[in-house]
């Protein structure tokens, strides 16, 4: 049996998995992210052991960023400037090829997730943004069915937003921009500003309005600049299901009727949605990258 490998390479953990032709992970392992040598030794062991399930046809890597995504550049597959110790310059493709002589596909975790969400839409959507709100805020884009690359890849978690009045004294946590979106609204910023984790904040707390306002500003910017047919909101912070309706309604308010197709909460309910993938979108995206790499062989 032919199997495909997926690696969702995150800042805190690597998720490795294999699936057969029909999709659906047959085996999964979660590896805490250490330095590259330690981490990839465990990744290699997982795929070696998976040899009992079938023969590996290709591996897809959905990687934390910034990472080189242009096959025509010398930094293709490498982790670029990052504050994460030990990882800058790591050649993710070479690390995989060192233990498995198979085609390897790579993109950012969020671009991969966006691809997987497009695939889950069965052709209904070709223009999509995938947003993750967790330890950081990341955005992946698919345009006309293809992941968006240019001078690097999308990094819209760092856009500037207007400060919410109820959040006035908080300087923000981004080491580059202070109070950019990620600096104000990612998980660690929520914990720092309110002294609480999103899963333990009471319903009447101002957090909900403030967080929904920031994420609605992101949605507004994405709709206006990139015209996605769908914005998918995932990640740890978005596990708080109260947020999505608040974000939809605030996005409608902020757009002020300018985009006729998005001028009601009913319309927005079709456009700002939770992930549709059965498995984590980034992992499903890694399988898609593996299949694409196999097809290119």
Say whether residue 197 binds its own copies (CB under 8 A): no
Q: Phi/psi at 64 (nearest 5 deg)?
A: -60, 160
Out of 81, 101, 122, 169, the residue judged to bind its own copies by CB under 8 A? 81
Say whether residue 257 binds its own copies (CB under 8 A): yes
Out of 22, 85, 123, 256, the residue judged to bind its own copies by CB under 8 A? 256
Q: How far apart are CA 51 and CA 156, in angstroms?
A: 39
Kindly identify the residues of this chain, within the stretch 50-69, that bind its own copies according to CB under 8 A: 66
Stretch that binds its own copies, among 18-26, 112-120, 148-156, 232-240 (CB under 8 A): 148-156
Question: Is 119 or 148 the residue whose CB approaches its own copies more closely?
Answer: 148
Integer CA distances (angstroms), 140 to 14, 38, 143, 201, 217, in order: 19, 28, 10, 28, 16
Q: 246 in helix, strand or coil?
A: helix
Question: Is 186 or 222 the residue whose CB approaches its own copies more closely?
Answer: 222
Q: Phi/psi at 295 (nearest 5 deg)?
A: -70, -30
Kindly identify the residues of this chain, within the stretch 210-239, that bind its own copies according to CB under 8 A: 217, 220-229
Question: Is 18 or 142 the residue whose CB approaches its own copies more closely?
Answer: 142
- Reported as type and span, the H/E element at residue 7 is strand 2-9
Q: 233 in helix, strand or coil?
A: strand
Say whether residue 249 binds its own copies (CB under 8 A): no
Q: How far apart are CA 2 and CA 47, in angstroms?
A: 13
Say whether residue 161 binds its own copies (CB under 8 A): yes
Contact 288, 116 (CB under 8 A): yes
Q: How far apart are CA 271 and CA 291, in angstroms?
A: 28
Question: Is 68 or 280 the residue whose CB approaches its own copies more closely?
Answer: 68
Integer-rounded Cα radius of gyration of the chain: 19
Contact 193, 170 (CB under 8 A): yes
Nearest distance, CB of residue 129 and its own copies, angstroms: 9
Which residues contact residue 295 at a Cβ distance below 8 angstroms, ignoring those fewer than 6 apart?
A: none
Nearest distance, CB of residue 112 and its own copies, angstroms: 16
Question: Is 25 or 108 the residue whose CB approaches its own copies more closely?
Answer: 108
Q: Phi/psi at 195 (nearest 5 deg)?
A: 70, 20
Stretch that binds its own copies, among 4-12, 204-212, 256-264, 282-290 (CB under 8 A): 256-264
Say whether residue 149 binds its own copies (CB under 8 A): yes
Nearest distance, CB of residue 220 and its own copies, angstroms: 7
Say whether residue 262 binds its own copies (CB under 8 A): yes
Interface contacts to its own copies, rule CB under 8 A = 66, 80-81, 126-127, 139, 141, 143-144, 146, 148-162, 176-177, 217, 220-229, 254-262, 271
């Amino acid at each position: 049996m032919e199997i495909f490998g997926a690696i969702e390479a995150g800042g805190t953990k690597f998720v490795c998995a294999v699936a057969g032709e029909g999709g659906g992970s047959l085996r999964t392992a979660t590896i805490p992210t250490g330095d590259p040598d330690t981490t990839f030794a465990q990744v290699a062991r997982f795929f070696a052991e998976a040899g009992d399930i079938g023969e590996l046809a290709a591996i897809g890597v959905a990687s934390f960023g910034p990472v080189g995504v242009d096959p025509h550049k010398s930094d293709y597959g490498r982790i670029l400037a990052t504050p994460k110790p030990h990882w800058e310059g790591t050649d993710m493709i070479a690390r995989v090829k060192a233990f498995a002589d198979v085609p390897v596909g790579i993109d950012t975790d969020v671009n991969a997730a966006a691809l997987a969400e497009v695939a889950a839409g069965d052709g209904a959507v070709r223009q999509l943004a995938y947003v993750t709100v967790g330890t950081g805020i990341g955005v992946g884009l698919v345009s006309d069915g293809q992941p968006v690359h240019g001078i690097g890849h999308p990094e819209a978690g760092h856009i500037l937003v207007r400060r919410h009045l109820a959040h006035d004294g908080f300087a923000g946590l981004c080491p580059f921009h202070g109070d950019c979106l990620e600096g104000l609204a990612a998980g660690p910023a929520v914990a720092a500003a309110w002294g609480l984790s999103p899963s333990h904040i009471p319903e009447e707390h101002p957090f909900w309005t403030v967080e929904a306002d920031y994420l609605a500003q992101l949605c507004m910017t994405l709709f206006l600049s990139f015209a996605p047919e769908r914005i998918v909101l995932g990640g740890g912070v978005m596990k708080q299901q109260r947020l999505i309706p608040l974000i939809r309604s605030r996005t409608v308010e902020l757009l002020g009727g300018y985009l006729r197709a998005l001028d009601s909460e009913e319309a927005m309910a079709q456009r700002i949605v939770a992930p549709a993938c059965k498995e984590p979108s980034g992992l499903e995206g890694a399988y898609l990258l593996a299949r694409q790499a196999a097809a290119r062989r």
